[in-house]
Amino acid sequence: MSTIAKVRHDEPYVAGESIEKTLASVRDLITHLVGLKGAVPTPLLRKQLSTALWQLTELSGVPPHAKYNVRFVSRGVKEQPGDTKVNHEHVTPRKSVSDRLLTARPGDSGITECLSDAGIACIVTVQEHGMLGNEPGLGWGRYEQAGVQVFDRLTQQWRTSASPTTPDRTDVDGLIDAKASAPELLHRLLHVMRAAGSEAVAGVSRKDGSPTHYFRLHDVTLPEPTRAFGYVHWSGVVDVALPFGDVPAQHRGRVTLVERTNRTRFRTRLRLSEAGDLQLATDLLTLSLDNLREDHREV
């Protein structure tokens, strides 16, 4: 993971002829792979498409630090300090693109349009990446829903019409101090999970933008948008995206099976009320995070 210091966000984006030729070659490769449908097992073909699509987003960058010097950057990248961590995010997830390509016919004009969408990456802060992970939809619409504004370094204009993210949504640490019943424990939990490669995003009311009663945990090491793997309530309740059967047997007496929930993945619940609960919470959240990353590797 890199920082804003490596992103030349104040400079215009100029791809150059060599980059355009390389991108054209990758698109030709992907088109060829699509033509192998039926001759190559689908899981193997999907894996090769996924790798090629990943390359398509990264090869659009300009050296040095090409991965982080692509055409689009977020407002957070332009305005936050240089030591802020950033993520190279795929605007359209590879799985979505692969699904479209695997249902297309060779020579279909939709393949060209699909590949045009597939090659777009945006550099965002890790906080913004977490916010994007909880939004449905594809493409720039997801950014607008999350309130992440995007700057086009080629045209030198703002790309999306999203309203800027409110401070309440991003300042999870401040919200913990203001709202948590056991702030020290929640700060320690968040410190451990950030070190594991995740970030917290405060839940907000879609009606008026005010903070709700929890924050979500999202992976920030993957370029794809990812679902939350944990919900931490200001009261100290922790809901983990983990089937109850996956909880180690020695810990099942300390957690609760959630029978009814509108979040079907979140079946395991515990409460942080003392220091002894912290290790259990971080262990289960880390297990949930590992499962999420394993699911991503299978895309």
Task: Provide the residue ranges of all domains of the chain, joining segments of one domain with +.
Answer: 2-158, 167-297
User: Do strands 121-125 and 72-74 pair parallel, antiparallel, or not at all (unpaired)?
Assistant: parallel
- Label residues 274-296 b or e (16+ Cβ within 10 Å = b): eeebbebbbebbbbbbebbeeeb
CB 33 within 8 A of CB 91: no
Q: Determine phi and psi for 157, rounding to 5 degrees.
A: -135, 160
What torsion, rounded to 10 degrees, do the Cα atoms 157, 163, 167, 171 define?
-80
Distance CA 152, CA 74 (A): 9
pLDDT at 298: 58
**How is residue 286 written in tokens?**
């880390």
CA nearest neighbour of 67 among 144, 8, 140, 115: 8
Residues facing 261 on adjacent strands: none
Tokens, residue 234:
């200001």
Can you give the pLDDT at residue 171?
A: 84
* Measured distance CA(46)–CA(32) in Å, rounded: 13
- Say which residue the tokens 């949504």 belong to: 169
Successive 10-residue mean pLDDT values, the chain, 299 residues:
92 91 92 92 92 89 93 95 92 88 80 82 91 82 90 91 51 92 96 94 76 90 86 95 90 86 78 92 96 79
pLDDT value of position 167: 40
Contact 39, 62 (CB under 8 A): no
Distance from C-alpha of 293 to C-alpha of 256, rounded to nearest angstrom: 24
Cis? peptide before 64, omega within 30° of 0: yes
For residue 288, what pLDDT is reported? 95
pLDDT reported for residue 65? 92
CA distances from 234 to 167, 214, 215 (A): 18, 6, 8
- The per-residue pLDDT for 166 is 45
Q: What is the pLDDT at residue 76?
A: 94
Give the predicted TM-score (pTM) of the model.
0.79
Q: How far, rounded to the nearest angstrom, does the alpha carbon of residue 30 sit from its chain's CA centroid?
A: 24
Q: Is 7 left (phi over 0), alpha (psi -120 to 50) or beta?
A: beta
82: helix, coil or strand? coil
In this structure, what token pair is assigned to residue 194? 């950030």
